[in-house]
Structure 1
Amino acid sequence: MENNLKFIDLYAGIGGFRFAFEAAGGICKFSSEWDKYSQLTYKAFHGETPFGDIHQINDIENQIPDHNVLAAGFPCQPFSLAGVSKKNSLGRLHGFDDPTQGTEFFKIKEILRLKKPVAFFLENVKNLKSHDNGKTFEIIKESLEKIGYIFETRIIDASKWVPQHRERIYFVGFRADLNISKKEILELFPDSPKNRIYELEDILIPEKELNKKYEEKYTVGPGTWDTLLRHKKNHIEKGNGFGYGLITKPYGDKITRTISARYHKDGAEILIEQKGKRPRRLTPLEACKLQGFPEKCYAFFNGLKTQPVSDTQAYRQFGNSVAYPVIKDIAKNISNFIHERDLLNNDLGINKKAV
């Protein structure tokens, strides 16, 4: 226990970061997730229910345990392209002007400022770096430097690990007093593996196993399919490539579009062709695999164990989640670096005076 890295899991969703750091030998000291349905899946996966709304914690120094690494996939809606467009259309503020979700980063900053862990590992949509002409990212950078942290970022496409295009920005940072260079931090971002962990055909349920249950439940309804066809036709006539994404055989080394939290609505971004029938959506089990989650999770979606939430909620959760294999590789590199540099002895209880 003394030599184990200790981490906290904030805006935890269904616990992708927790799986990653536990795979690297870490111990989770605290987790937080406000969504009640995500809490159910988190408990199914990890055996405990995370704390609810992080904003209910008013005494950070005493309510948040000491830890070596803060991990968080903080809410990205105010910074995503879709979120910005939607809020602009509604005349609402976004980013750091958002009075609600726009403040989530500042909660992370306050925990870092007061608890001073060795390192942090954050994930967000890639648009965060260009949001508001780079002003949002500059505020993040200045805020972290002001409280005594140095960090680097990299945008990584998960398609090198799993057959899904999923570009996200990853932050890895360390306390500045530890004298770790930015070059050393950059080296913690993993090189792409030579081969993906698995290909699309390893994820999709074979057609011979798609019985009536799957056909009835996951095949796109006639009304929805007509709407998707109409929208695609309109986009083509306008000269752009928008519309549904259809995966056809042979699968080979094909890669899907990014699965999103709206996938439950019509499955438009990833539809699987069915010969002589309307296409189907991914099943929750296939969505779980597409995000690369550990095999222990499969039992909750293949009938071996009770599914913790409805299909709708499962789609939302996997769409909002991280591409686990990417997170796992970065977490492993962070953990190894901390142990190799003997940084655990520079944390947990020292230098806690807030700056």
Structure 2
Amino acid sequence: MNEFARLRQEAGLSIPEAVEALGYCERTIYRWETGEGAPRKAALEFLRKAIERKPLQGGAFTFIDLFAGIGGLRKGFEPIGGRCVFTSEWDKYSVQTYLANHSCDHEVVGDITKVPVASIPAHDVLLAGFPCQPFSIAGVSKKNALGRQHGFRCEAQGTLFFDVARIIEHHRPKAFLLENVKNLVSHDRGRTFEVIRRALTEELGYHIRYRVIDAKGFVPQHRERIFIVGFREENAFDFDALSIPDPSYGPRLREILHPEDGSEEADGRFTAGPKAKVIDKYTLSDHLWGYLQDYAEKHRAKGNGFGFGLVGPEDVARTLSARYFKDGSEILVRQSGRKNPRRLTPRECARLMGF
């Protein structure tokens, strides 16, 4: 039995499950299984991690997934025994992808601001990658003088953090994990984060820790995010004690790009031909490529840093943004010869995000 077959079996995955989990076509998985082809390093690493994090039977704890996107945070909690009991996401395309990535025995609800807290199931852990909208701190003394509420009920009202806070206040989960952009800490000279910190600690009574982590220790993407963890009861959790890969030695784009050498089967959607080359629709037109170069040159002359990002297999990408589908300018892949660069395929984007 070869290494791929052994790891697949130890991870408890059938061939169809391996196809879905790894994102390669069935023919490629069978080639790796029988030893006819060499498996990708990233696929072997995925299986090793799946073995380490094999789910506990029955669900060791329950969690809810707010501002769920396509389920990135959920991916870290199910393998350690978590069972998702509630999901909220309002973007219809994200919901479609979420349901393709995860099995749900509950409906994915839309706008969380319209959901009564009592209708949300009780849960042990709350997950929320909430968007950061600006809000400022109003003077508490002035609020008192006017007889108005203060604290998070006033200061965060109208922001999506308010909805996270009201759910925590009602359900009192044992723990939560909140994720946001790195600049949350410095936004509005630190006032925004101070509202959040005080709401979670002084008003809701949780013990919190936070840390900015760069994803490029795990995936070939420079993506810094702040993670805030909170516990109802004090404990010894320490972010600095976690084993987090050094971003300087993280994976490179070769791990997620289509190899285009025949070692991966063509899927007909993103790749085609005997060598499974990326199809031409992902290559920039002469017009778009010319525009991006002119735009970059214009800002370079002004001393600005705006422009496209051109990368190869040994590089790390910029942050993949929601606007990527428009022109792909932040992550353009070099191509050999005189060919214009290309966008990442949706499959490569998924791999870049850890799927």
TM-score, normalising length: structure 2: 0.69
- Matched with 1:180 is 235
1:8 equivalent in alignment to 2:64: yes
Higher mean displacement: 227-236 or 277-286? 227-236
1: CA distance, partners of 2:279 / 2:134? 37
1:200 aligned partner: 253
1:46 aligned onto 2:108: no
Cα distance in 2 for residues equivalent to 1:187 and 1:46 = 31
Distance 2:157 2:272 in 1: 42
For the Cα contact (< 8 Å) 2:133–2:159, is it kept in 1? no
What pairs up with 1:329-348 in 2 under 5 angstroms? none
RMSD, matched Cα = 2.7
Task: Mark the runs of 5 or more structure 1 residues left unpaired by the alignment.
Answer: 80-95, 294-355
TM-score, normalization by structure 1: 0.69
**Structure 1 residue 180: deviation in Å?**
2.4
Q: Classify 1:2/1:233 alpha carbon distance in 2 versus 1 (closer, same or farther; 3 Å).
A: closer
Aligned partners of 1:7 and 1:67 also within 8 Å:
yes
Matched, 1:280 2:342: yes
Residue 164 of structure 1 is matched in structure 2 by: 221
Once the 2 structures are TM-superposed, how far is the Cα of residue 77 of structure 1 from its aligned partner? 5.8
Which of 260, 278, 283 aligns to 2:321? It is 260
Q: Higher RCO, 1 or 2 (CA under 8 Å, sep at least 6)?
A: 1
Deviation per CA, 1:56-111: give whole Å up to 9, x if none. Answer: 212x13x11111110010123659xxxxxxxxxxxxxxxx9xx9995110100011
Does the 8 Å CA contact 1:173/1:185 hold for their aligned counterparts?
Answer: no
Alpha-carbon spacing, 1:245–1:197, altered in 2? closer, same or farther (3 Å): closer
Matches within 5 A, 1:64-79: 64-76=120-132, 78=134
The amino acid that maps onto 1:266 is: D
Give structure 2 stretches of 5+ with no counterpart. 1-56, 136-151, 263-270
Provide the residue aligned with 1:152 in structure 2.
Answer: 209
- In structure 1, the residue corresponding to 2:340 is in which secondary structure? strand
Give the whole-Å Cα distance in 1 for the aligned partners of 2:157 and 2:90: 12
Cα deviation 1:16-57 (Å, max 9, x = unaligned): 122210011111111111111211111111133412211221
Contact 1:245/1:269 (CA < 8 Å) preserved in 2? yes
Number of aligned positions between the proteins: 267
Structure 2 letter corresponding to 1:104? L
**1:138 and 2:213 correspond:** no
Q: Distance in 2 between matches of 1:281 and 1:4?
A: 41
* 1:8-157 superposed matches below 5 A: 8-48=64-104, 49-58=107-116, 60-61=117-118, 63-76=119-132, 78=134, 103-145=159-201, 146-157=203-214
Q: Distance in 1 between matches of 2:169 and 2:132?
A: 22
Q: 1:219 aligns with which of 275, 283, 287?
A: 283
Deviation at 1:152, TM superposition (A): 1.2
Q: Partners in 2 of 1:101 and 1:201 — Cα distance?
A: 45
Q: Bigger shift: 281-290 or 144-153?
A: 144-153
CA distance in 1, matches of 2:283, 2:335: 9
What SS does structure 2 have at the residue aligned with 1:259? coil
Measured in 2, the distance between the counterparts of 1:231 and 1:8 equals: 43
* Alignment-derived partner of residue 309 in structure 2: 245
The alpha carbon displacement at 1:211 in A equals: 4.4
SS of equivalent residue, structure 1 residue 111: helix
Fraction of identical pairs, as percent: 49
